[in-house]
Amino acid sequence: MSGNLESTSVAMPEHHIQEELCHTRPTYRKGRKETAVKVYTINDESVHLIVCGTPSLDLFRQLKGKFLPYGEIKQFVKLPDYPSEQFTETFHVHYQRIQSARVAKRFLDGHNFYGGLLHVFYAPEYETLAETRQKLAQRLKDVTVRIKRHKEDPTNPEIETFEPEPNTQRKKKRPALPQVKR
């Protein structure tokens, strides 16, 4: 979607729902804090983030200040028509780079902000066709670079071949003869 975001905000029914915490992980897989298990593909990730759970206390500048350290922001707007809990506001953050959005989402999702817990999630429905193409092209470049780096890595067992050195022991002029019993 493009244009005025304030008048075209639509809540997507399923992929924005916050998942329940996973309590069935084996002990060796558990981190310091319990988290939900959710898999993201390149289609799910986006430079667009939606921030729910901000208290309705006119905290626009403070919230923007929380997102600025993670990268250059193209657009930061309030979404008044977005469905949210009572006494909370919802914001749309549009980053310049997808890596900035990834890091911001990781660090600010579940963050305590003025007594409310922020819920930060990707909003690929706000992407334009050009942004989607750019995202997929960038992903292709990143994967190609990683594959090339992996193939050139000297510790890669697939390319490391063991070739024994040629025998450098010199031949004896008079090899030892076996002893014969008499």
Q: What is the CATH number of domain 27-130?
A: 3.30.70.330
Q: Indicate whether 41 pLDDT > 90.
A: no
Tell me how many helices (H) and strands (E) the chain has: 3, 6
Bigger pLDDT: 181 vs 142: 142
Structure tokens at 18: 């916050």
Residue holding tokens 């003025």?
A: 114
In the prediction, which pLDDT does 4 show? Answer: 45
CA distance 100 to 103: 5
Q: Do 74 and 93 form a contact (C-beta atoms < 8 A)? A: no
Q: Which residues contact 92 (CB under 8 A, 6 or more apart)?
A: 5, 9, 48, 49, 50, 51, 75, 76, 77, 78, 79, 123, 126
Q: Are 34 and 22 in contact (CB under 8 A)?
A: yes
Model pLDDT for residues 70-109, shown as the tens digit of each residue: 999 999 999 998 888 889 999 999 999 999 999 999 999 9
Q: How far is it, in rounded angstroms, from Cα 86 to Cα 63?
A: 18
Question: Residues with Cβ < 8 Å from 38, sequence gap 6 or more?
Answer: 19
53 backbone φψ class: left, alpha, beta (φ>0; ψ -120 to 50): left
Q: Where are the domains of the chain?
A: 27-130
Between strands 116-117 and 119-122, the pairing is: unpaired
pLDDT tens digits for range 10-31: 555 455 666 677 777 777 777 7
- pLDDT, mean over the chain: 82
Helix (H) or strand (E) holding 60: helix 60-67
* Contacts of 138-144 spanning 24+ positions with Cβ under 8 A: 138/98, 139/42
- Percent of the chain beyond pLDDT 70? 74
| Amino acid in the structure at residue 54 | T
